[in-house]
Structure 1
């Protein structure tokens, strides 16, 4: 299903992704971000797909998904699977900018990541409202590859949601998403308030190279 684009992209979050959290951009940087935002919003064609499944079915019992996801879904008897993408034109734009304007490419890459997050936030809010009408509750989003959850779960999630037909999202042999500016997520569903549990840095596959840790913060810091 197609998703509406917001009128603007959250600039402060994009700056944090660029390693400039809390910095007030000068006029030249503001102009650069403005141009990058315009390009990303013009190129993006956001689409998403979701599916609700019993907890006994997903994640597949035969696949070792680690302890972090199990802890995140504790107390839930169903899951909501979510997939979203900005479309292939954003990927093409980013590749072109990487060859022609590296500063613009860095700004556009950060802004597109934030735009994807905003699309997912809005989609999640809609489903929270739907489930609230049924007196059901959702955890936060949890993505394959986070904590000790393997990327291989992306294969099963996209198959279950039928992302190729649902939103044009495919899986590479390395279990990555294509187009690049895409994401998947798992949310637990329960008949009582649940929040899930953040995996933290201890079991994260990127803990040794994480740019956020080098700055003394985390990827989930607000």
Structure 2
């Protein structure tokens, strides 16, 4: 299977004259799951939004397989993004949502999902938070994009559903490159192939889990 590479560089972002992100470089390959860590307010969600293109960063440079994608609408076909807010119209049914979100072949498999089967005729507004979150994650991972950015994918899920989503992420990483950030850091650590931390505006490589404590993100070594 051909490996695809996403490279983003030159990201800088300030809010209220305070530098949040400074000269960020990130490389993501298919088959890779990058666990992204950082304290609240460190810029994790902002970084993902900048990569996806919904938050501007003037000096951002983005390449997919060595081809510049700056200001390219085709970038939407390359990257899937799960953000923290509800993004599906409330009046849609689950079945409508699936059929409009993924191609016909994938739609069949999504509809056969053991958890979603019984929900197909329900309206989005009638789903619980956990049911909706699972549907969103499933759709993002089932689309055609080569790369996926997951912001809080475990939010609102039961422990059993978290395990299912972790398995989905690992299975889809065989053909996608994935970045995941979540407050359920143990789960992120478990599935990630590589770790990164946003610290004082810089994106730093984590080679050993203990570095998450050294950099002030975690204080209890017992989590390992």
Same fold (TM over 0.5): no
Q: TM-score, normalised by structure 2?
A: 0.28
Specify which structure has the higher proportion of strand: 2
Q: TM-score, normalised by structure 1?
A: 0.29
Specify which structure has the higher proportion of helix: 1
